[in-house]
Amino acid sequence: MTSPTPDRTPRVATLEEDHLRITVAGRERAVTIVGPQSPVAAAPAILYFHGSNQTAASGRAFTGGTFDALARRGVVVAYLDGHKRNWNDARASSAFAARRDGVDDVAFATATIDRLVGEYGVDRARIYAVGFSAGGALVIRLAHAIPALLAGAALIAATQPVPENFLLHDAPPAPLPLVAFHGTRDPLVPYGGGMASLWGFRPRGLGLSAPATADYFAARNGITTAPASRRVAPRAGAGRTTVERTDYRQDGHAPVTLFTIHGGGHVVPGPRRAPRIMGRSTDQLVAADAIAAGCVRIGTSLAARERAGRGAASASAHQAAVSAAMPAAQRSWKRRRRSASATGSPERAWARQY
């Protein structure tokens, strides 16, 4: 079993921040890497994809530092920068510059994984993709295009496109643990499904409801049993939102979990209050903590399952390869001895990000 934050991973006091330039199909792309100053062998990694009209930096700030907090526990977090503030996801209706310019964001994600493994000591079998809004739409594309490279995926305020709005409807089913978070009063991506838009303007295509999205991925994972739902116990001083957790579980199948934030808006669940125009924030759930605490804990990538099947000799060879990669990881971090704060720094007024 795997998790983004294994119990053996020590907490670290200082973070290291690195800025990569990766050339994909002749186009230079940017990634901000945040991780422990002293690399952890076989560390897990999270690829974080920001929302529409955000950047890696503003998307990082929008999370309230909650994914940086995972880096303090040994996780390497990569904040990828979209093309002209957006992504080439799998929605047929997309009119973003990334689609018009033919940007290959699947190749960008794959190249980032290769750099994380080669330079930062990350375990290739423990890569998790997390996306907010349009970034979640890209994670949906990755889940269909490169599921074997991922140990799990998380969607925040994003839903599966309806079949006629989906470019990869012929992708064969592939098991992938998935967790989703969605507010019932999301003003941009409706919880109940329908047209995603910017407050009724600039429509971005039809999508399934959040529950139907969870159903869809559970079916891809071969789960045939009915889901089970329960209310998450409210935290002290509960605000105006409540959380319901729905689990799709069946022995031998990758799990799916949906967190419904009743009364919640188009936000990343956590301590940072989003602008009022985005809808209500929630203090009842931290998405980063939920991802780390076990929603994808029992999932492993296909590569990990194949490695497990090859026995102890293969495991020893894998550990030797990880150990060999550690000096390169240490050199990579030392390129820029720059400590990062746990919260990042806001770049612009929230109103300019959407």
The contacts of residue 111 (CB under 8 Å, 6+ apart) are 22, 24, 29
pLDDT tens across 14-39, in order?
Answer: 789 999 999 999 999 999 999 987 77
User: Exposure string (b/e) for 124-139, b if CB count within 10 Å is 16 or more?
Assistant: bbbbbbbbbbbbbbbb
pLDDT tens across 326-343, in order?
Answer: 444 444 444 443 333 333
Residue 132: both structure tokens together: 């907010």
pTM surpassing 0.85? no
pLDDT tens across 68-113, in order?
Answer: 999 988 899 999 999 999 999 999 988 889 999 999 999 999 999 9
What CATH homologous superfamily does 15-353 map to? Alpha/Beta hydrolase fold, catalytic domain (3.40.50.1820)
Entry field: residues in the chain: 354
pLDDT tens across 169-195, in order?
Answer: 899 999 999 999 999 999 889 999 876
Contact 2, 126 (CB under 8 A): yes
Gap between the Cα atoms of 166 and 212, Å rounded: 15
Q: Which residue has the higher pLDDT, 328 or 137?
A: 137
Residue 299: pLDDT band with limits 50, 70, 90:
very low
Gap between the Cα atoms of 222 and 245, Å rounded: 20
In 3-state terms the chain splits into helix, strand, coil percentages (rounded to 5) of: 30, 25, 45
